[in-house]
Amino acid sequence: MSRPLPLPLRRWRPRIGRGDEWKRSICPYCGTGCGLLARAKDGAVAEVKGDPDHPVNQGKLCAKGALLAPVVRTDDRLLFPLLREDRSGPFMRVSWPAAVQRFAAAIRKAQVEHGPHAVMLYGSGQLVTEDYYLFGKLAKGYLRTNNQDTNSRLCMASAVVAYNLALGSDSPPCSYADIEAAKTFLIVGANPEACHPILFNRIKARRRADKDVRVILVDPRRTRTAEIADIHLRPRPGTDVALLNSLLYETLLAGGVDHDFIAAHTSGWEELSRVLGEYQAERAYEITGVPAQDTLDAARLYARNGPALSLWAMGLNQSANGVDNNLAIINLALASGNISKPGAGPFSLTGQPNAMGGREAGGLATALPGHRQVADPEHRAELERAWGIEPGSISDQPGLTAIEMVEALEAGRLKVLWVAGTNPLASLPNTERVRRALAKADFVAVQDAYHPTETTAAAHLVLPAAQWSERGGTMTNSERRICLLERIGAPPGEALPDWEIIRRVALALGYGRHFDYQTEEEIFDEYRALTRGRDLDISELSYDRLRQSSEGAQWPSRGGAADSTPRLFTDNRFATPDGRARFHALSQQRTAEQLDEAYPLALLTGRVKDQWHTRTRTGKVAKLNKSEPKPFLEVHPQDARACALADGDAVRVISRRGAFVAPARVTDAVPPGSVFAPFHWGPSWAADSTPNLAASEAFDPRSKEPELKFAAVRIEPAATVANSTP
């Protein structure tokens, strides 16, 4: 039975006008999307607090969000465009017109000499939806290449493909409000205590409020998220399909499968049920190492203590079998009827603040704005008409994805790279290979708020971007909630919003007439009109309407009573051609790399609570550097003993690609046979500190998402560990 969640629409009276007024925004770190109030002093944001009226966080913030003000104006803010023709030489300050003319000339030259696909735009979930849309319009519409991808490729590309395959569209069906209605939480390959702290607090509060609520966690590591787990399953890394199949099989035996729902609203159950028998708990144990009794306990709980909400993140996505992993957890939700009703659903957590906006506005190399696909001739034609370009302008070839970008640079097929809001020389796997590939490009332009970063330092042209609080725009969080970020302070120096930089480059390329925007609102209006009639329809959602509510709106948002849609598919009609959700029969595949005598350990990588990615922002806040001041490698005591390592000793981690060095943290939080390193401390900390020197770029064939959660490594004591100051 489905009923809409009660979501009272609190009205907010805008208090815009004086410079020192509190204005509404959204935290620019994680995909939780907490609402903030911030105000400026002397033109720059000076104070930040949680927005008590925002439904996501109700006034609360984690430390990263609360400590945003100090990261906005720092000594290393990039103030002016910087250019150099020779990448071994120094940068020179140039004017904006000179910078964009030079860049446009490089783009033109590459396209004239090598064709349209010699250019690529690599963006980020830090960008607002308006930036994404404009990037796509320029690349896909006018530069005639679908070579536009984003760092979301490293993040939730696997979830995008799986939602499309299983539900017919890239549509997370749930809401955070389902947390307050769920009885059983199944958290797989995610560490929300560190990575989605406000959601974690909501789950914790829910557990405290209702004695029947239970939490099942699936993670090889014992993270702090495990503190709220009633059952913690610790599979061997990369064996989630076997584990989830096994959970489904045992759920079936425990009577937890909803046969009426399956018959009426799904297809593919027969094929799936035929493979499930292989994954009886005792047999799955051989693959996963999870004791059969634990799987049985978890399955019985899942079967009997509904509604069940499943939440997952990178432990499933960042895998050479990432799409299968996602399909496996969606299979489980569908088979048990845990979808489209309060407290239930397969809910993929997004990482970055606007990863979802990129999915919606066509930020991925296979996508076009409004959940359209490059491969669909009708979708291409719709945009060609909307953009006023000749039929056939949009290429029918999918663009390069992040890892393919590296391969194309190596092969000399890609000549000009435009990077915005991401730091690939720290965040892509096999960093040395990426560095060598980037060195082959004819021209690299990087748009960032800070300089130097690992990537700006390798550019020809560095363009100063306004960042959070200095520009407006919209972002979408994990639960499809679109919120407006007001401009609070002014950008320093000559920094410009990303969309304005894109507009100026488009102008210099001669497309001025089609990029004639004065404000981000005009871009939003153009984009939202293109969503009319689509599953994510926001055609009636204006900036004015977003300003009137403290809540934003969950798409689709069609105006009037359909302002906001907390839950999708409530009539159990899915977005597939026949309206039925699709099961997928899956068997456990191997990881791209295998453990062997030379490389006997699995390297897992991930995050800590108080750092954000490559530390360009959080690394500058003394309070945030306190909890984890430096890189580390978690090693199980057994593995430490085997190579005579004591806690704190420097250890070298060697893979087939490269090696990094970190102080060892000897702990049974990692299972024997696995080591874990956070990837925050990149080459700017120490030349050899990033696990991405060793991480694997093998990727899932369907989502092209790299296997950042598994690399075969060995460890040995290192003489010293380089230390750096933050």
Ligand X SMILES: Nc1nc2c(c(=O)[nH]1)N[C@H]1C(S)=C(S)[C@@H](COP(=O)(O)OP(=O)(O)OC[C@H]3O[C@@H](n4cnc5c(=O)[nH]c(N)nc54)[C@H](O)[C@@H]3O)O[C@H]1N2
Residue showing tokens 């029969």: 585
DSSP per residue over 165-192, as a string?
A: HHHSSS-----GGGGGT-SEEEEES--H
Position 586 contacts ligand X (CB under 6 A): no
DSSP 425: H
* Residue 27, amino acid: C
As a whole number of angstroms, the distance between CA 158 and CA 401 comes to: 13
As a whole number of angstroms, the distance between CA 680 and CA 625 comes to: 11
Shortest CB 397 distance to ligand X, Å: 25
As a whole number of angstroms, the distance between CA 160 and CA 562 comes to: 25
Question: 608 in helix, strand or coil?
Answer: coil
How far, in whole angstroms, is CA 72 from its chain's centroid?
A: 22
How far, in whole angstroms, is CA 75 from its chain's centroid?
A: 28
* Binding footprint of ligand SF4 on the chain (CB under 6 A): 27, 29-30, 32-34, 57, 61-62, 64-65, 196-198
Position 157 contacts Mo ion (CB under 5 A): no
Position 421 contacts Mo ion (CB under 5 A): no
198 binds, among ligand X, Mo ion, ligand SF4, none (CB under 5 to 8 A by kind): ligand SF4
423 binds, among Mo ion, ligand SF4, ligand X, none (CB under 5 to 8 A by kind): ligand X
61 binds, among Mo ion, ligand SF4, ligand X, none (CB under 5 to 8 A by kind): ligand SF4
287 binds, among ligand SF4, Mo ion, ligand X, none (CB under 5 to 8 A by kind): none
Shortest CB 451 distance to ligand SF4, Å: 24
As a whole number of angstroms, the distance between CA 317 and CA 162 comes to: 10
How far, in whole angstroms, is CA 722 from its chain's centroid?
A: 30
Kindly give the pairing relationship between strand 372-373 and strand 553-554.
unpaired
Residue from 708, 713, 718, 721 binding ligand X (CB under 6 A): 708
As a whole number of angstroms, the distance between CA 498 and CA 518 comes to: 13
What is the CB neighbour count within 10 angstroms for residue 407? 15
Residue number with CB closer to ligand SF4 (62 or 244): 62
As a whole number of angstroms, the distance between CA 369 and CA 371 comes to: 6
CB 166 within 8 A of CB 327: yes
CB 369 within 8 A of CB 527: yes
Sheet holding 553-554, edge to edge: 473-476, 481-485, 553-554
Residue from 51, 130, 404, 448 binding ligand X (CB under 6 A): 448
Shortest CB 691 distance to ligand SF4, Å: 22
Site string for ligand X, 204-243 (x = CB under 6 A): --------------xxxx-x-------------xx-x---
Shortest CB 66 distance to ligand SF4, Å: 7
Position 281 contacts Mo ion (CB under 5 A): no
Residue number with CB closer to ligand SF4 (30 or 695): 30
Query: Among candidates 154, 153, 216, 162, which has minimal Cα distance to 190?
Result: 216
Residue 473 CB contacts under 8 Å (≥ 6 apart), including other chains: 128, 129, 130, 131, 484, 485, 497, 499, 520, 524
* Residue 552, amino acid: G
Helices (H), 62-95: 63-66, 69-72
As a whole number of angstroms, the distance between CA 351 and CA 159 comes to: 12
Residue number with CB closer to ligand SF4 (532 or 623): 623
Position 467 contacts ligand X (CB under 6 A): yes
Position 272 contacts ligand X (CB under 6 A): no
Residue from 126, 145, 326, 550 binding ligand X (CB under 6 A): 126
Position 423 contacts ligand X (CB under 6 A): yes
**Residue 256, CA atoms < 13 Å, CB-side half-sphere:** 28
What is the CB neighbour count within 10 angstroms for residue 505? 24
Position 705 contacts ligand X (CB under 6 A): no
Sheet holding 443-448, edge to edge: 92-93, 82-83, 461-464, 443-448, 416-420, 119-123, 148-150
Site string for Mo ion, 323-352 (x = CB under 5 A): ----------------------------x-
Residue number with CB closer to ligand X (178 or 707): 707
Tell me which residues in 501-560 interact with ligand X (CB under 6 A).
Answer: none
Shortest CB 45 distance to ligand X, Å: 13
Stretch that binds ligand X, among 296-304, 422-430, 660-668, 717-725 (CB under 6 A): 422-430
Shortest CB 477 distance to Mo ion, Å: 13
- How much is the CA Rg of the chain, to the nearest whole Å? 24
As a whole number of angstroms, the distance between CA 152 and CA 353 comes to: 11
Shortest CB 469 distance to ligand X, Å: 10
Query: Among candidates 587, 616, 591, 589, which has minimal Cα distance to 602?
Result: 591
Position 160 contacts ligand X (CB under 6 A): no
Tell me which residues in 180-209 interact with ligand X (CB under 6 A).
Answer: 188-191, 194-195
Shortest CB 81 distance to Mo ion, Å: 28
Position 605 contacts ligand X (CB under 6 A): yes
Shortest CB 171 distance to ligand SF4, Å: 22
Residue from 26, 420, 601, 654 binding ligand X (CB under 6 A): 420
Q: In the structure encoding, which two tokens stand for residue 587, read together? A: 């068997």
Shortest CB 309 distance to ligand SF4, Å: 18
Site string for ligand X, 240-269 (x = CB under 6 A): x-----------------------------
Residue number with CB closer to ligand SF4 (33 or 421): 33
Stretch that binds Mo ion, among 147-155, 176-184, 236-244, 273-281 (CB under 5 A): 147-155
Report the interface residues with Mo ion, using CB under 5 A. 155, 351
Report the interface residues with ligand X, using CB under 6 A. 30, 124, 126, 151, 154-155, 188-191, 194-195, 218-221, 223, 237-238, 240, 313-315, 318, 351-352, 420-424, 426-427, 447-450, 453, 465, 467-468, 498, 604-607, 609, 611-614, 616, 679, 691-692, 695, 708-709
